Structure 1
Amino acid sequence: MPHEVRAAVAVAPGAPVEVLPILVPDPGPGEVLVSVQACGVCHTDLHHREGAVGDAFPYLLGHEAAGVVEAAGPDVTDLAPGDFVVLAWRAPCGRCRSCRRGRPWYCFDSRHAAQPMTLRDGTPLAPALGIGAFAEKTLVAAGQAVKVDPAARPEAAGLIGCGVMAGYGAAVHTGGVGSGDTVAVIGCGGVGNAAIAGASRAGARRVIAVDIDDRKLDAAERFGATDTVNSRGTDPVEAVRALTSGFGADVVIDAVGRPETYLQAFSMRDLAGTLVQVGVPEPDMRVELPLADLFGRGGALKASWYGDCLPSRDFPVLIDLHLSGKLDLERFVTETIGLTGIEPAFAKMRRGEVLRSVVVL
């Protein structure tokens, strides 16, 4: 029997989010019903609301979530009612060519719930990133619900479901930051600061935070940045070079995802250095680079998909780091809000006033 719950829905491109009643089915084979406790407000939710990532309206927003399993489908054996879980938007299928080659973090056929959640009139909802967690309950594939230590507060734990994992993994997995490396991170929001935390934990001897907002740079220092550069009035490429004996950084992470920041990141690298793009660009953005520069500078230009993470492996590790005091997830939580506070949270996000607003249900 479907469950009627309140949820935040984007009904049309650019239209304000509406809190509406929706219907969530009982779980079928391979699915779990999750009672959502907290869900972060991510830039990707705003991209969905504005129609920048597709036109499958209406969207059920929300994907950085933690909650408790309420019911499991008949064939689900590794989750049970009462389990505390963080939701992942990648659940490796185990069958695609990437999974078969031992690279499940690149899974090309990630699993989602088979049954749709709907409006009262039966209109199917497109859940953001296959989750849709700005809702009192949501239906996901069992592989998307990763059991973690329930000692973590849901408001903090849910953030590893997207932004924190994306940034941390961009440094540790995609960038391969190691002991003694120099690292620059452009953009010190939630993803960028998670990359700073990851680089610091991986043993980087210098972590340079680059942003146009002094408030974000102050926050970056608390996550482990050794140096800060305000690029509003300073050439960030020259500043990073000056801080690295004129060479540039071994790894540069673009957590903004704009052409200008990508070009800055490209030029900030040392010879044979690595550029990692984890900031999500808009579809019409383009970058032009001289082919001779691509060859002459060498190194690697990488896109980081979800921090190249394996949720079943990495989520419990990050929660354990948090509970042991080695990764302060609470520091990412700027404010807690209700479902009706999502539109004001989007406005604060645009103005750069928050790392994360978190919806508490």
Structure 2
Amino acid sequence: MVQRVQGVISRAKDAPVELTTILVPDPGPGEAVVKVQACGVCHTDLHYKVGGIGNDYPYLLGHEAAGIVESVGPDVTDVQPGDYVILNWRAVCGSCRACLRGRPWYCFNTHNATQKMTLEDGTELSPALGIGAFVEKTLVAAGQCTKVDPQAPATVAGLLGCGVMAGIGAAINTGNVARGDSVAVIGCGGVGDAAIAGARLVGAHTIIAVDTDQRKLDWAKEFGATHTVLVGDGDVVEKIQELTDGFGADVVIDAVGRPETWKQAFYGRDLAGTVVLVGVPNPAWNLEIPLIDIFGRGGQLKSSWYGDCLPSRDFPVLIDLFLQGRLPLDKFVSETIGLEDIESAFEKMHHGDVLRSVVTI
């Protein structure tokens, strides 16, 4: 039976978001309906709203979510009604060339629910990142549901669904940060601070936070930054080198994704060091760099997709670390809000006033 619930959509490019009635069908084969308890407000949702990702309006926004499985479709065995889950946007297929080679975090055939949620007039909705969680209940592929310990509050757990996982994974999974390493993180929003937290978690010795905003640098210290560099207060590359005995950092993570920040990451690393790009670039931006510099400095130049995470492996472990007091996920939550407050949350995000606003439902 179709359910009528309240949810937030973006109806047209850069139009104010709307709280409206959403129709959610019963789950079909391989699908699940999840009662959303909390969902973070992510920059990706804002990108959908302003037309930075596509033009498949109307979008059902929201994707950093946790909640309770309400019902499942035929043949679903991995989750069942009552399970407490974090939603992920990379449900692995298990059969593509990446999965068959034992690298499911690179799955090239991730999937979403087959059926569509709609407006009351039958207009099909495009769920953000295949999830659409600014809504009381959402329809997803069952593989997008990852069971975790229900002791973790949904306001915290849901953040692993996107930005926080992207940052932690950029440090641990993609950058392979190890005990005693030096790390620099350029851009200290939610993703950058998560990378800092990840580097601290695995025992990095020196963790340098770089940003244009002193307030964000102060936040970065709470997640484990040992040093800070304020952009504009001297050359960023020279500052990173000064803090690493003149050599540069073993791993530099670009959480901004601009040509100039990537170059800072490239030249701010040690010889044979690693650059990790996790900030999402504008498709119109290009990078020009001497090829001899790429050859001469060696090392690894990497891009991080969703922190190269495998939700079934990483989410439960990170939640356990939070419950043990070793990973401060709660510090990412700047405020909790209602569905009716999302437009205001986008404004706060735009001005850098919050790390994460989290919608509670």
TM range (shorter): over 0.9
Whether 1:92 aligns to 2:92 is yes
Q: CA RMSD, aligned part only?
A: 0.8
Give the C-alpha shift of residue 343 in structure 1: 1.2
Give the C-alpha shift of residue 212 in structure 1: 1.2
Give the C-alpha shift of residue 132 in structure 1: 0.3
Q: Would you say the 8 A contact 1:181–1:206 is kept in 2?
A: yes
Provide Cα deviations, 1:104-162, integer angstroms capped at 9, x if missing partner.
00111102101001111111111111100011100011110001000011001100111
Amino acid at match of 1:236: V
Amino acid at match of 2:308: D
Provide the C-alpha distance between the structure 2 equivalents of 1:233 and 1:90, rounded to a whole number of angstroms. 40
Provide the C-alpha distance between the structure 1 equivalents of 2:208 and 2:41, rounded to a whole number of angstroms. 26
Q: Which moved more, 1:259-268 or 1:31-40?
A: 259-268
Q: Where do residues 1-361 of structure 1 align in structure 2 (5 Å cutoff)? A: 1-361=1-361
Give the C-alpha shift of residue 76 in structure 1: 1.1
Give the C-alpha shift of residue 14 in structure 1: 1.1
Provide Cα deviations, 1:169-206, integer angstroms capped at 9, x if missing partner.
00000000011110000111111111001111111110
Partner of 2:169, secondary structure, is: helix
Provide the C-alpha distance between the structure 1 equivalents of 2:14 and 2:293, rounded to a whole number of angstroms. 39
Amino acid at match of 2:148: V
Amino acid at match of 1:329: L
Give the C-alpha shift of residue 211 in structure 1: 0.7
Provide the C-alpha distance between the structure 1 equivalents of 2:286 and 2:345, rounded to a whole number of angstroms. 29
Q: Would you say the 8 A contact 1:190–1:355 is kept in 2?
A: yes
Partner of 1:276, secondary structure, is: strand
Give the C-alpha shift of residue 38 in structure 1: 0.3
Provide the C-alpha distance between the structure 2 equivalents of 1:302 and 1:11, rounded to a whole number of angstroms. 36
TM-score normalised according to structure 2 size: 0.99
Provide the C-alpha distance between the structure 1 equivalents of 2:84 and 2:350, rounded to a whole number of angstroms. 32
Give the C-alpha shift of residue 18 in structure 1: 1.0
Provide the C-alpha distance between the structure 2 equivalents of 1:6 and 1:32, rounded to a whole number of angstroms. 18
Q: Would you say the 8 A contact 1:52–1:283 is kept in 2?
A: no
Provide Cα deviations, 1:231-283, integer angstroms capped at 9, x if missing partner.
13332111101001111101000111111111111111111110001011122
Amino acid at match of 1:114: T
Provide Cα deviations, 1:273-312, integer angstroms capped at 9, x if missing partner.
1000101112212111111111111111110000000000
Where structure 1 has 5 or more consecutive residues not aligned to the other structure, the ranges are: none
Amino acid at match of 2:338: G
Provide the C-alpha distance between the structure 2 equivalents of 1:268 and 1:41, rounded to a whole number of angstroms. 32
Amino acid at match of 1:75: D
Give the C-alpha shift of residue 214 in structure 1: 1.3
Quote the sequence identity (%): 67
Provide the C-alpha distance between the structure 2 equivalents of 1:152 and 1:343, rounded to a whole number of angstroms. 27
TM-score normalised according to structure 1 size: 0.99
Give the 4+ runs in structure 1 shifted more than 6 A.
none
Q: Which moved more, 1:15-24 or 1:62-71?
A: 15-24
Provide the C-alpha distance between the structure 2 equivalents of 1:223 and 1:199, rounded to a whole number of angstroms. 10
Give the C-alpha shift of residue 217 in structure 1: 0.9
Provide the C-alpha distance between the structure 2 equivalents of 1:258 and 1:337, rounded to a whole number of angstroms. 31
Provide the C-alpha distance between the structure 2 equivalents of 1:2 and 1:286, rounded to a whole number of angstroms. 47
Provide the C-alpha distance between the structure 1 equivalents of 2:12 and 2:290, rounded to a whole number of angstroms. 40
Give the C-alpha shift of residue 66 in structure 1: 0.3
Where structure 2 has 5 or more consecutive residues not aligned to the other structure, the ranges are: none
Partner of 1:118, secondary structure, is: coil
